[in-house]
Structure 1
């Protein structure tokens, strides 16, 4: 049995990482709008929109994790509005796409197809999906599971070595 690598992220760490993402994005604009990929992109989009003073925020709702642990079929539940899709031309130039994580790249590829000229940013990236994003903060291995603060309560974490403490 392969042991999954756990990467728990606290609210404070996530806020620092989202601000670090914003620092990297500051020179990449200007951006007229943010499209956040729900649900994971909601929190970093809030931080980025505040820091870059972007008021036009749209969502694209894509579901791929159906039981929180395994990726299934990818389904667009709500597309991007026509108003935002046509900013800067049909390709979305001047639009910033924000998500918490790019994993396999399935979701990113769908959204990238909707806005091929947009700038795509994620807080975290895994190797399979990394080529689809323009800006990210931290890369983790493909076999790492990121535990985001909105999915966690306070609980014991076993040692990384797997040995009992």
Structure 2
């Protein structure tokens, strides 16, 4: 597969490649670790928080819980719609309890993180504390995460490397693989 150069980022668009994306997740790990806060579980918000949540779970050697949420659905994922929060959290062992680190990719409007915090308080009485961690926090967010790697004062649209798959179908993947052979 060819590595296509990314467009130049500016105040309206932040373009993130795979290497920078992974380094950003690791940078967020550092921020949380250096805070000294000890947590019992990692809860990631699917889909944007899946990759960061997986990395946190592995590095901190803690169970990973997953809560599916969805709001960016219209116009190839570029327009925020109504927020849907799954009723249940997926956990491989036990239940969601104790001190929970809530991980997502970004705080955009703040609606998702705010509503998920309320959802956890209302439905998971064994959770004693929740703190949130995101890679990017936009100035327009009404919710300020406890931890973030980068504050974005101009509220750019963030183009993440996995977004190319939003409009790709199996035939296109197969064709791309053939082109790379």
- Helix, strand or coil: the match of 2:19? helix
CA-atom RMSD in angstroms:
2.2
Q: Could you say which residue in structure 1 is the equivalent of 2:37?
A: 29
Q: Could you say which residue in structure 1 is the equivalent of 2:118?
A: 113
Instruction: Identify the structure with the greater helix proportion.
Output: 2
- Asked if structure 1 preserves the Cα contact closer than 8 Å seen for 2:133 and 2:146, the reply is yes
- Asked if structure 2 preserves the Cα contact closer than 8 Å seen for 1:103 and 1:142, the reply is no
The structure 1 residue matched to 2:51, chosen from 38, 43, 49, is 43
Q: Could you say which residue in structure 2 is the equivalent of 1:75?
A: 84
Tell me the CA shift for residue 145 of structure 1: 0.5
Q: 4+ residue stretches of structure 1 with deviation over 6 A?
A: none
Tell me the CA shift for residue 133 of structure 1: 0.8
CA distance in 1, matches of 2:73, 2:154: 19
**Count of residue correspondences:** 143
Q: Could you say which residue in structure 2 is the equivalent of 1:103?
A: 108
| Structure 1, unaligned runs of 5 or more | 89-93, 154-165
Larger Rg: 2
Tell me the CA shift for residue 29 of structure 1: 2.8
CA distance in 2, matches of 1:25, 1:145: 25
TM-score by length of 1: 0.78
CA distance in 1, matches of 2:109, 2:11: 16
Q: Could you say which residue in structure 2 is the equivalent of 1:144?
A: 156
| Structure 2, unaligned runs of 5 or more | 1-9, 122-128, 166-181
